[in-house]
Each structure stands twice: as C-alpha cells, then as structure tokens.
A and B are shown apart, each in its own frame.
Chain A
Amino acid sequence: MIDLSLLTDGGVGWLDASGPSSHLVLSTRIRLARNLADHVFQGRTSETQREEILQTVEGAARDSVLLRRATRFRLDRLDRVDRQLLHERHLVSKELAGLDPDGRVRSGASLLVQDRMGVMLNEEDHLRIQGLHSGFALDAAYAEADRLDAELGQRLAFAFHPEFGYLTSCPTNVGTGLRASVLIHLPGLVLTKEISKVLQGLAQVGLTHRGLYGEGSEVVGNFFQLSNQTTLGSSERELLDHLGKMVRQVMDYEEQARQVLVRDAPTVIEDKVWRAYGLLRYARSLSFDEAMNLLSGVRLGVGVGLIPDVAMYTLNKLLIYAQPAHLAVAEGITPDDAELPLRRARFVRKVLESEVGRRG
C-alpha cells in the first residue's frame, strides 16, 4: 500500500476550498506536454528507452529547485488499487494509471510530485508537467507550471520546432502543449436546463468540456472540466485569458441560474437540497454516482445559503474519500467489494454528523 501522507499536503491541497471562487470552482489544472528531442515518441519506445527517459528526467528533477524533494511513484510497480488512488486524487491520468478496460500499465509509467506540482512520465508524451491549484487560479497555476517547465527545460533537451513549437506525439497538443482546465460545479445551469446551450456556446469559442476525471470521463455530480481545445496559434497568455474570460462568464450564468431557481421555484429548490442532505445523512447504502449527485445538491444548498452548517471543505473531503479506492483502502476492503455502498453510506453519515456536532 502506498503512503500518500508522504506528500506534504497528502496530495489533496488543491481541495482545501481556499482558492478564489471555490464555491463554484473546485480546482484549476495546468498541463504542459513536453518530449525529449533525442527519443522517439512514447508509442514507439521500448521498455529500455522508457527506463532511460525516466532516469534522465529524474536526474533533471533532482537538480531542480521545484522537484528536488519530489516523491516518486512508479505506477508500473503499484497494485491496481494504489494506481486508482492516485487517479482519484487527480494526480495521474486514467491512461497512465492503466485503468482503461484493458488494464495494463506501461512499463516506466511514473509520477513525480512535490506540493502542487508534478510530472507524469511516459504518458502519451514523455513529460506531462502539471500544476494543480485550489479554486479558480489560472494565473497562479500557470506561473508555477511555467517555472517548472523552465527549470526542467534548462536541464533537458525538449523537442521543439521553430514553426510548430513544442512537438507532441498527438498533433492536437502541438505548439504550446498547454491544456488549462477548470473544474466547475454547475447545478444551477443543469437544473434550469441551460447547460447544453452553454456547452455548445463554449465549443463554438474553442473550449471543450469533460467530466470529473478529465479526458474520457463522464459528468458526475454536475462537475464539468472546461478547457482550451487548441494549443497552437495563440500564446499561453492568450489561451489562459480566453479560457479565464469564458469561465467567468459561465460563473455569472451559473449565479444567475441559481438566483432564478431561488426566486421562481423556492420550494422546489429547497426540497431538492434538503432531500439530498437527508439522504446523505440517513441512507444506509450509497453508490458512488448517487453520492456524487446528492453531494452536488448539498453543495448547491450551501452555495445559495439554504444549508448553513456544512463547510465547502467537508463537501470536498467527501468528494475525495467517498471514491471507490479511497473508501476501500480506508475500510480495508477491495474496491469491488459488495459491502462498499454500505460502507460509503456509513462514512458519509459519520462525517456529516460530526460536522453538525462541531458547528452546533
């Protein structure tokens, strides 16, 4: 079993609800795709080459300021439940963790992580530099990722083309290699059925949306990950500004939708959030999806001031620790144990009870 407490913030610092607009935005993520110039891309690498890539980057990380004390996880040597744990903490992609249906982990697949920054190694690209911040913090998250990129770039030879920019194994990432994403909670837009219009609008201005766990994941609990779709032809600054402007607009729409709900359907909305709260407090069995959807209802209730005695941080904590691998590890069972929904309900009850006790 891996010990995530080795990470300074346990790898969940981004969930502390301390960041800007954290009642709507859970986290901001920056990812920079980089490849070593003297190696073929990941799809054509051999096991030995992936090992070399790992050694080279690790060497550079040890010489750096920002990753000098990094904790290393070799995903290819971890059990499935541990890999799932890292994925549930949003530290590694599903692909790197080998959680896709075929379930194989590529040899050399690794993660280096220190505080809010990390590098995925031997992912679709040799390096995926990432920075994860609490709340809506595009500039801060980018500044950190950019510093790490500069540090590693001085010690490593990155594949760069004078016209196309940073070269990536998939041409959808070429140029800046930048993917900036904001994980945002939009229950108001979902309830008022405005969400598809908003998402279509975002697609038209070059933004894309994904689910809770990023690429290839479904939308659960009304959490949407909004990010830039193109990476070439605009500077990093322009990409971030554009995304930031659009996210602020979506936040305004969400606030408006919530106002409409509270004004025009106060009893419906009140019933909805308290019903969600009641189920979480008293249910005896909860699937993950159901828990996420109910937590979304409670989060909305807290956001519009209907539920006064639950902290955002508590909701964020539940979001992480009610996930299958987290819960299974805490309970000493496997993630596919039939007991899991019962344990989840008990865990959620306990957390909410203590919250009320603490505040009341």
Chain B
Amino acid sequence: MSCDQCREREAVIHLTQIVNEQVTTLHLCEKCAAEKGVESPGAVAKTPLGSFLAAMGKGTEQAPAPLAREACARCGATFQDFRETGRLGCPDCYRTFEAPLRDLLRRLHGSTHHLGERYAEREPSAAQAREHAAELREQLRLAVETENFELAAEIRDQLRVLE
C-alpha cells in the first residue's frame, strides 16, 4: 500500500483517527508520518497531549475506585469528566481531585510546586507606585518640552489613574 500523503513510498504507519465521530484511517510512510508529527509505533508519545493522556491513564489505575465517581461539590465535575475532556470544571476541582492531580502534575511538569509570582503578594508597594509616578512625571516633562501635547495628555491621564 502506498502512502496517502506522498503516494510514492510504502505506507508503514496506519493511523486511525476519530474526528467528529467519524473514523478515518490514514496510511503513511515513515517520512510523511514524521512530518505530521506521528511517532512510529512503539515510540513513547512526545507531544504534550500524548504524555498527558498517558499520564491520565496511569493516574486512574492508581486512583481508588470511589474517586472516579466522586463529584466536585462546587461544579459537579467528576474525575471521569476530566479524563474525557482534559479540562477541569472549576478552581475547586484542584482540591477535590488533589491526589490524582498531584500525580499528573508531577508527570506533566516534573513538579507540583509553583515557584513563580505569587498572586496574593502582587499588590505593588507604595514605593513602587511612587517610583512609577516619578517616571511618568519625567515623561510628561519631556513630552511638554518637545511640544508633544497629545502624548502629554495621555501621560497626565495615566498619572491621574495612578494617583
């Protein structure tokens, strides 16, 4: 059988896809398959979604049986819903399904600990606000100096909001 894509080389990979509930099978040669980002059989999925789904499968094996049925008290989503859609229902789902999610996050990101900016601490300090205002006043001075009044008005508005 020749490759559906290039119609030249021998098809070695047979990819079955379900799109809009229609099953289609694609026969591809190794080269076209690689171009389409399809791994040869047996290879571990390297795409984010591939590793994600693999991880989800493993997550459920380890999850205790009741968990699959347990629903999030806030939005009603179950872990089964998540497995089907790949999307959680609401922020509380992260608490409801904490154990299997923790496992999943470790597989996806190699960690469960957020090390980036922290939301609660984001309020800029008064010092920062003063600094920003000083910066704007300097820009305003320059704008007036260069007679760029449109810009000056813009900066003045920004200062007003800030103050």
List residues of chain A with CB under 8 Å of any chain B CB: 35, 37, 39-44, 63-65, 68, 101-102, 124, 146, 150, 153-154, 158-161, 163-167, 169-172, 174-176, 178, 196, 203, 208, 229-236, 238-239
Residue of B nearest to A200 (CB): B46
List residues of chain B with CB under 8 Å of any chain A CB: 19-20, 34, 46-48, 52, 74-77, 85-91, 93-94, 101, 104-105, 108-120, 122-124, 157-158, 161-162
Residue of B nearest to A168 (CB): B88
Complexed CA–CA distance, A236 and B123 (Å): 18
Chain B residues with Cβ below 8 Å from A124 are 87
30 contacts between A and B (CB under 8 A): A35-B91, A41-B87, A41-B90, A43-B85, A65-B158, A68-B157, A101-B20, A154-B124, A158-B119, A160-B118, A161-B91, A161-B94, A165-B114, A166-B114, A167-B94, A170-B87, A171-B88, A171-B105, A174-B94, A174-B114, A175-B109, A175-B116, A178-B116, A208-B47, A208-B48, A230-B108, A230-B110, A232-B112, A234-B115, A235-B115
Which of these, B19, B20, B34, B116, contacts A196 with CB under 8 Å? Answer: B34
Given the contacts A153-B119, A229-B48, A44 and B105 also touching, CB distance less than 8 Å = no
Tell me the smallest distance from the CB of B131 to a CB of chain A, in Å.
Answer: 13
- Residue picked from B52, B101, B112, most chain A C-beta under 10 Å: B112
Complexed CA–CA distance, A65 and B101 (Å): 37
Chain B residues with Cβ below 8 Å from A42 are 87
Tell me the smallest distance from the CB of B54 to a CB of chain A, in Å.
Answer: 13
B91 touches A167 (CB 8 A): yes
Give 9 closest A-B pairs by Cβ, nearest first.
A233-B111, A165-B114, A160-B119, A159-B91, A232-B109, A176-B116, A40-B90, A230-B109, A43-B87
Chain A residues with Cβ below 8 Å from B75 are 40-41, 44
A44 touches B89 (CB 8 A): yes
Complexed CA–CA distance, A102 and B22 (Å): 13
The total of Cβ contacts below 8 Å across the A-B interface reads 123
Main secondary structure of the interface of B (DSSP, over half): loop
Tell me the smallest distance from the CB of B77 to a CB of chain A, in Å.
Answer: 7
- Residue picked from A42, A165, A236, most chain B C-beta under 10 Å: A165
- With A160-B120, A232-B109 known, 17 other A-B pairs at CB within 8 A are A40-B74, A41-B87, A63-B161, A65-B162, A68-B157, A153-B122, A161-B91, A161-B94, A164-B112, A165-B116, A170-B87, A171-B52, A174-B105, A176-B116, A233-B114, A233-B115, A235-B115
B90 touches A154 (CB 8 A): no
Residue of A nearest to B120 (CB): A160
Chain B residues with Cβ below 8 Å from A174 are 94, 105, 109, 114
Residue of B nearest to A64 (CB): B161
Residue of B nearest to A68 (CB): B161
Given the contacts A40-B75, A63-B161, A172 and B91 also touching, CB distance less than 8 Å = no
